[in-house]
């Protein structure tokens, strides 16, 4: 297999996989098998969501099940009748009989969820078969938002259809100004209106700023000119998402600087207090309330949500005061995994950002949900159930479905405990229609749960073949266990985990005629949304008052990562066996699974090596004689040689799958070009080491 950059989009948008039918599969006594004597029927308007879903289902049967059926307007024998039945309260009812099938949907918007469920049932059986009987299916989540999986704010009709088949029904788009995202002009009304054709709502991820205090005389006027105007220009926009770091204001709370974080200095000396975006200021509720009033004056039904993502590090007592004064008619956005408290060999190693490795909800999440529920505050959860996080920043999936399943089940419980029925399922790293999407759909029925082990086995057979399935399952188990030993520090997730084996290794001594900064500007495309602004190349611990210092935790983290690497390699061996045994028409998928595992394995090596590199640099700079320092230079040369080979070993992997090494907000960061760049950078570092070795011996001349 070989792909050019962005070739992955063709596969991503292939929501109806061709020729998925197993011709050896026959109907059991309790099943009906569709054949050419059947037709699809509906009286839905052709331009309604239901009408479009009916035609999409016909396309599925033809492409995936090799079955071409007519669409008719009347019900009768051997008709798959799809309709909107407004007498139903929620969800849909599937009634399968020998002489007919009916699919009744409570409203137009859920029609796609219903027809995709039919597809899911048939795909798992690899045949157009359905079990006899009548079942009701009620999704427990009203909203499941995603960013685009094909590019930053890229929402073609193909993207809309892909996300519907992956189980998502709402999108999030970045908004920096009217008709503009961070990349330039953006036609929001076009995206909003096209999404609604498929029953998909659009929410804005806000970057519009109003640096004003709610007590200012013109505050409400300025809120209206910004946020009210958003909804006057885009009247069908479903809501707006607010976040502290993108919504700072001149707070009067003495616990904060009252300034933007970039301006929080006094005569060049950093102010040690947080800026308002990172603290639950006493006047924050009034600020948010002003925005809410402006939005709801223009669009009464719009959702205004506010995320407390930025201050989960604070004690519950401080956060509780904020929630007690939370503004009315605003939805609280809570984050599942961040600030999870962890101990590694006794050291404090809390989760600093999004990670699949945290299968249990953090205390931050649980305490916020419980308190919000007590006060009747509506909630949306930031959950990363699409299977991607900052664990490995440029992959389509962390292939650890057993970890993902446990998170899904915790969220299912959160629905029943706290009524949490709204999910922001993935940040701007997007999604892929894969096993994580399957688990997200199958854990989300109010009155039904499958046997999850049986479900995972069927998914493995569906995607890789019967003979390969056992090895895929073994790989998933090893990789899920391996994630228990993952490190989720800021320096790792903004560094080697984010860009994989392309991460540069900077030699610390500053051999310079210009006194330049040692940090390297990581090369990214000029049109990238964030680009290199979220990549930190001069590796060193980003310390936090709630976290053990890096020099103490790195040895323990290296031991933990060694366990992770051992387990990951066991999973990779199983994935290689799956490639050998996969069905011929599924072999490419098995190869991509192995490539994904290979890519992550090499990223793990890089993360381990950069920690060793940092320790060698620091130890060398603390030496008292040249002889000891040269030993550390020897160590660094050995690490560099290993990393050069690691980068070379990654090149064939990214050549085989163009989705590896890419992330929507950064674009490509670990493709062939970047890996070859990494090799050139290491060769430069080796020249620096050689120069420094000569410098160590100048005193001998």
Q: Which two tokens stand for residue 200?
A: 């998909």
Q: Is the pLDDT of residue 26 over 80?
A: yes
Residue with tokens 């670990």: 670
575-597 tens-digit pLDDT: 999 999 999 999 999 999 999 99
What's the rounded Cα separation, in Å, for the pair 487 and 497?
9
Q: Which two tokens stand for residue 323?
A: 């929630």
Q: Which of 12, 106, 123 is nearest to 57 (CA)?
A: 123
521-562 tens-digit pLDDT: 999 999 999 999 999 999 999 999 999 999 999 999 999 999
Name 387's Cβ contacts closer than 8 Å, sequence gap at least 6.
Answer: 356, 397, 398, 401, 404, 431, 432, 434, 435, 436, 437
Q: Is the pLDDT of residue 249 over 90?
A: yes
* 241 backbone dihedrals φ, ψ, rounded to 5°: -105, 125
Element (H, E) at 94: strand 92-96
148-198 tens-digit pLDDT: 999 999 999 999 999 999 999 999 999 999 999 988 999 999 999 999 999
Q: How confident is the model at residue 1 (pLDDT cuts 50, 70, 90)?
A: confident
What's the rounded Cα separation, in Å, for the pair 180 and 240?
15
| Residue 661, Ramachandran bin (φ over 0: left; ψ between -120 and 50: alpha; else beta) | left
Element (H, E) at 553: helix 550-581
> According to the model, what pLDDT value does residue 239 have?
98
Q: How wide is the angle at C-alpha 225 spanned by C-alphas 221 and 226, nearest 5°?
A: 120
CB atoms within 10 A of CB 31: 16
> According to the model, what pLDDT value does residue 700 have?
81
Q: Are strands 667-668 and 662-663 parallel, antiparallel or unpaired?
A: antiparallel
For residue 390, CA distances in Å to 147, 224, 482, 571 come to 15, 35, 16, 21
What's the rounded Cα separation, in Å, for the pair 385 and 407?
7
221-237 tens-digit pLDDT: 999 999 999 999 999 99
Cα 543 to chain centroid, rounded: 25
pLDDT cut 90: percent of the chain above it: 96
Q: Which two tokens stand for residue 629?
A: 């320092």
> According to the model, what pLDDT value does residue 699 have?
87
Q: Which two tokens stand for residue 195?
A: 């999404």
Q: Which two tokens stand for residue 345?
A: 């060999």
Q: Are strands 184-185 and 180-181 parallel, antiparallel or unpaired?
A: antiparallel
474-496 tens-digit pLDDT: 999 999 999 999 999 999 999 99
Integer distance in angstroms from the first to the last C-alpha of the chain? 57
The pTM of this model reads: 0.96
Q: What average pLDDT is seen over the chain? A: 96
Q: Is the pLDDT of residue 701 over 80?
A: no
* 418 backbone dihedrals φ, ψ, rounded to 5°: -125, 5
369-414 tens-digit pLDDT: 999 999 999 999 999 999 999 999 999 999 999 999 999 999 999 9
Residue with tokens 């390699």: 569
Q: Which two tokens stand for residue 85?
A: 């039945």
What's the rounded Cα separation, in Å, for the pair 414 and 411?
5
Q: Which two tokens stand for residue 491?
A: 């320096």
For residue 68, CA distances in Å to 17, 34, 222 come to 15, 10, 57
What's the rounded Cα separation, in Å, for the pair 105 and 199?
13
Domains of the chain listed by start with CATH number:
16-137 (3.30.379.10), 489-546+583-592+609-700 (no CATH)
Asked whether the beta carbons of 665 and 429 are under 8 A apart, the reply is yes
Element (H, E) at 579: helix 550-581
Q: Which of 474, 449, 468, 469 is nearest to 459 (CA)?
A: 469
CB atoms within 10 A of CB 513: 5
Q: Is the pLDDT of residue 147 over 80?
A: yes
């Amino acid at each position: 297999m070989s792909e050019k950059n962005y070739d992955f989009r063709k596969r991503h948008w292939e929501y109806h996989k061709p020729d998925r039918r197993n011709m050896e599969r026959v109907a059991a006594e309790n099943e009906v098998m569709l054949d050419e004597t059947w037709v699809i029927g509906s009286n839905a308007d052709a331009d309604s969501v239901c009408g479009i879903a009916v035609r999409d289902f016909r396309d599925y049967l033809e492409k995936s099940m090799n079955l071409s059926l007519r669409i008719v307007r009347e019900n009768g024998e051997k008709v798959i009748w799809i309709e909107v039945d407004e007498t139903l309260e929620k969800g849909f009812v599937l009634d399968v009989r020998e002489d007919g099938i009916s699919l009744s949907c409570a409203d137009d918007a859920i029609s796609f969820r219903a027809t995709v469920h039919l597809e899911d049932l048939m795909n798992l059986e690899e045949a157009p078969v359905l079990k006899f009987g009548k079942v009701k299916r009620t999704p427990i989540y009203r909203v499941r938002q995603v960013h685009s999986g094909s590019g930053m704010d890229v929402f073609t009709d193909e993207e809309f259809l892909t996300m519907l088949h992956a189980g998502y029904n709402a999108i999030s788009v970045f908004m920096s100004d009217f008709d503009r995202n961070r990349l330039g002009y953006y036609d929001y009304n076009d995206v909003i209106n096209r999404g609604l054709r498929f029953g998909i709502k659009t929410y804005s991820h806000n970057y519009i700023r109003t640096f004003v205090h709610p007590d200012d005389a013109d505050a409400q006027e300025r809120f209206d000119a910004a946020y009210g105007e958003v909804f006057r220009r885009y009247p069908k926009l479903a809501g707006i998402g607010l976040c502290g770091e993108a919504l700072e204001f001149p707070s009067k709370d003495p616990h904060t600087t009252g300034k933007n974080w970039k301006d929080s200095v006094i005569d060049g000396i950093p102010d040690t207090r947080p800026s308002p975006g990172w603290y639950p200021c006493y006047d924050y509720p009034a600020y948010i309330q002003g925005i809410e009033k402006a939005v709801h004056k223009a669009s009464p039904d719009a959702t205004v949500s506010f995320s407390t993502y930025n201050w989960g590090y604070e004690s519950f007592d401080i956060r509780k005061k904020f929630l007690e004064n939370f503004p009315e008619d605003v939805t609280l956005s809570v984050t599942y995994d961040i600030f999870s408290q962890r101990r590694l060999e006794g050291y404090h190693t809390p989760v600093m950002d999004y990670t699949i490795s945290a299968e249990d909800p953090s205390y931050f999440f649980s305490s916020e949900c419980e308190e919000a529920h007590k006060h009747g505050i509506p909630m949306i959860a930031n959950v990363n159930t699409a299977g991607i996080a900052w664990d490995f920043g440029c992959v389509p999936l962390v292939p650890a479905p057993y970890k993902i399943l446990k998170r899904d089940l915790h969220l299912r419980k959160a629905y029943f405990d706290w009524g949490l029925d709204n999910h922001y399922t993935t940040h701007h790293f997007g999604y892929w229609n894969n096993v994580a999407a399957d688990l997200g759909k199958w854990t989300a029925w109010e009155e039904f749960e499958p046997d999850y082990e049986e479900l995972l086995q069927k998914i493995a057979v569906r995607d890789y073949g019967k003979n390969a399935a056992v090895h895929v399952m073994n790989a998933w188990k090893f990789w899920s266990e391996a994630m228990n030993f993952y490190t989720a520090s800021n320096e790792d997730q903004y560094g080697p985990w984010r860009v994989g084996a392309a991460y540069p290794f900077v030699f610390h001594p500053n051999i310079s005629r210009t006194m330049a900064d040692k940090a390297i500007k990581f090369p990214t495309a000029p049109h990238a949304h964030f680009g290199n602004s979220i990549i930190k190349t001069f590796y060193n611990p980003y310390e936090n008052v709630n976290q053990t210092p890096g020099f103490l935790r790195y040895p323990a983290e290296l031991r933990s990562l060694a366990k992770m690497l051992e387990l990951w390699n066991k999973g990779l061996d199983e994935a290689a066996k799956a490639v050998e045994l996969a069905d011929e028409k599924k072999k490419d998928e098995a190869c991509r699974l192995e490539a994904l595992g290979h890519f992550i394995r090499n990223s793990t090596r890089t993360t381990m090596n950069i920690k060793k590199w940092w320790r060698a640099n620091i130890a060398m700079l603390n030496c008292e004689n040249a002889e000891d320092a040269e030993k550390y230079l020897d160590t660094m040369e050995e690490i560099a040689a290993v990393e050069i080979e690691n980068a070379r070993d990654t090149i064939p992997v990214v050549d085989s799958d163009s989705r590896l090494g890419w992330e929507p907000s950064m674009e490509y960061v670990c493709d062939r070009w970047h890996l070859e760049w990494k090799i050139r950078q290491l060769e430069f570092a080796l020249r620096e080491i050689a120069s420094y070795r000569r410098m160590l011996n100048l005193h001998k001349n």
